[in-house]
Amino acid sequence: MNAEQPPIRIGIVGYGNLGRGVEAAIAKNPDLQLMGVYTRRDPGALQTLLAGTPVHAMEQLDSHHGQLDVLILCGGSKDDLPRQSPALAARFNLVDSFDTHARIPEHFAAVDAAAQAGQTTALISAGWDPGMFSLNRVMGEALLPDGATYTFWGKGLSQGHSDAIRRVPGVAGGVQYTLPVPAAVDAVRGGTRPTLSTREKHTRECFVVLEAGASAEAVRQTIVEMPHYFDEYDTTVHFIDAATLQREHGAMPHGGFVIRSGNTSAGNTQVIEYGLQLGSNPEFTASVLVAYARAVHRLHLAGQHGAKTVFDVPPGLLSAKSPAQLRAELL
Binding site for a copy of itself (CB under 8 A): 21, 24-25, 28-29, 101, 104-105, 108, 125, 130, 132, 134-135, 137-139, 141-146, 189, 191, 264-265, 267-280, 283-284, 286-288, 291, 294, 309-316, 318-320, 323-324, 326-328, 330-331
Nearer Cβ to a copy of itself (83/327): 327
- Least distance (Å) between residue 38 CB and a copy of itself: 22
DSSP-derived letter for residue 157 is: E
Nearer Cβ to a copy of itself (216/326): 326
Nearer Cβ to a copy of itself (236/270): 270
Task: Report yes or no: 127 and 287 within 8 Å, Cβ to Cβ.
Answer: no
Nearer Cβ to a copy of itself (73/210): 73
- Least distance (Å) between residue 100 CB and a copy of itself: 11
Q: What is the DSSP string of 37-101?
A: EEESS-GGG---SSTT--EEEGGGTGGGGGG-SEEEE-S-TTTTHHHHHHHHHTTS-EE-----G
Count of beta carbons in the 10 Å neighbourhood of residue 188:
24
Phi, psi at residue 160, to the nearest 5°? -65, -45
- Least distance (Å) between residue 214 CB and a copy of itself: 34
- Least distance (Å) between residue 302 CB and a copy of itself: 11
Nearer Cβ to a copy of itself (34/223): 34
Find, among 198, 174, 196, the residue nearest to 187 by Cα.
196
- Least distance (Å) between residue 290 CB and a copy of itself: 9
- The gap from C-alpha 125 to its chain's centroid, in whole angstroms, comes to 8
Find, among 35, 32, 60, 57, the residue nearest to 46 by Cα.
57
